[in-house]
Chains A and B, each alone.
Chain A
Amino acid sequence: ETGVTQTPRHLVMGMTNKKSLKCEQHLGHNAMYWYKQSAKKPLELMFVYNFKEQTENNSVPSRFSPECPNSSHLFLHLHTLQPEDSALYLCASSPAEWGGLTDTQYFGPGTRLTVL
C-alpha cells in the first residue's frame, strides 16, 4: 500500500454507538492530521499530531477522541455522536508539522460518516 489509507470508507452509526476511524500513512511522515468536511463548508482542521504528540485540538467536542500510537497510525474514536457530526472525515500526513511552509499535506480518501 502506498500513500495514506483510511478505513472504513463508509460508516453508519447510531448516536449511542462507539466506533473508530483508522488512518495509516506509508510515506514516512511525522505529522498527521484529522479534518472534517461538512456539506458546503470548507475543510476544518480538527487535530494535529507531530511525532506522536498532539499539538493541536481545534476546539473539537470531547465525543471525538484521537489517538496516535506511532507516526504511521492515527485513530479517531467516536462516541455518542450527533446527527450533525455526519460528514467526510479526512486524514492527512506531512513530513513534519513545522517542516516548513512548503511541506505538502497528503490526504487519504476519507471516511463518509452518517450518524442516525
Chain B
Amino acid sequence: DQQVKQNSPSLSVQEGRISILNCDYTNSMFDYFLWYKKYPAEGPTFLISISSIKDKNEDGRFTVFLNKSAKHLSLHIVPSQPGDSAVYFCAAKGQGGSEKLVFGKGTKLTVNP
C-alpha cells in the first residue's frame, strides 16, 4: 500500500510557464516532506523541503505548498526552464518518530523550449 502517491507519471510544460507537481500521502504521522530531482544517470538530489508546521516554503523559483487537511503537497516551479526537465520525487518522513524516507514513484517533467 503506497503511502506517498504521485499520480501523474509525466508532465509537459512550455518554457517560462509554471510547472505544478502534485503529491498525496496517506499517513497522517508524516511531518516532514521533501522533493528530490533526478536527472538520467544521476542520483536524486535534494531540492526543497517543508515541515508540517508550515504551509509554504519558497526557494528561488521553487515553492512547496502543504495542505495537511487534504494530505496534499505540491511543488511549483516558475518560470520553468528546459534545465528543469527531470524526474521529481516526493518523499515524506516522520511516521511514528521514524526518520526513514518514504518515496513516491516520481513525475517526469519535460520543459519544452
Tell me how many residue pairs across A and B have CB atoms closer than 8 Å. Answer: 56
Q: A78 an interface residue at 8 Å Cβ cutoff?
A: no
User: Hey, what's the 0/1 contact readout for A80-116 against B, CB within 8 Å counting as 1?
Assistant: 0000000000111000011111111111111000000
Residues of A1-34 whose CB lies within 8 A of B: 4, 6, 9
- B100–A56 touching, CB < 8 Å: yes
Residues of A28-55 whose CB lies within 8 A of B: 40-43, 45, 48
User: Known contacts A40-B105, A42-B4, A43-B89: does B46 contact A104 (CB below 8 Å)?
Assistant: yes
- A101–B99 touching, CB < 8 Å: yes
The smallest C-beta distance from A65 to any residue of chain B, in angstroms, reads 21
Q: In the assembly, what is the distance between CA of A97 and CA of B42, in Å?
A: 23
Q: In the assembly, what is the distance between CA of A93 and CA of B97, in Å?
A: 19
Residues in chain B near residue A45, CB distance under 8 A = 100-101
Q: In the assembly, what is the distance between CA of A71 and CA of B105, in Å?
A: 29
For A, the interface residue count at a CB cutoff of 8 angstroms equals: 27
The secondary structure that dominates the A interface is loop
Contact among B32, B45, B100 with A102 in the assembled complex (CB-CB below 8 Å): B32
**Interface size for chain B: under 10, 10 to 19, 20 to 34, or 35 or more residues?**
20 to 34
Q: B84 an interface residue at 8 Å Cβ cutoff?
A: no
Residues of B1-53 whose CB lies within 8 A of A: 2, 4, 31-32, 34, 36, 41-46, 49, 51
Residues in chain A near residue B99, CB distance under 8 A = 97-101, 103
18 other contacts beyond A104-B34, A109-B41, A109-B43, with CB at 8 A cut-off?
A4-B43, A43-B103, A45-B100, A48-B100, A92-B43, A98-B99, A101-B31, A101-B51, A101-B93, A102-B49, A102-B51, A103-B99, A104-B49, A105-B46, A105-B101, A107-B36, A109-B42, A110-B43
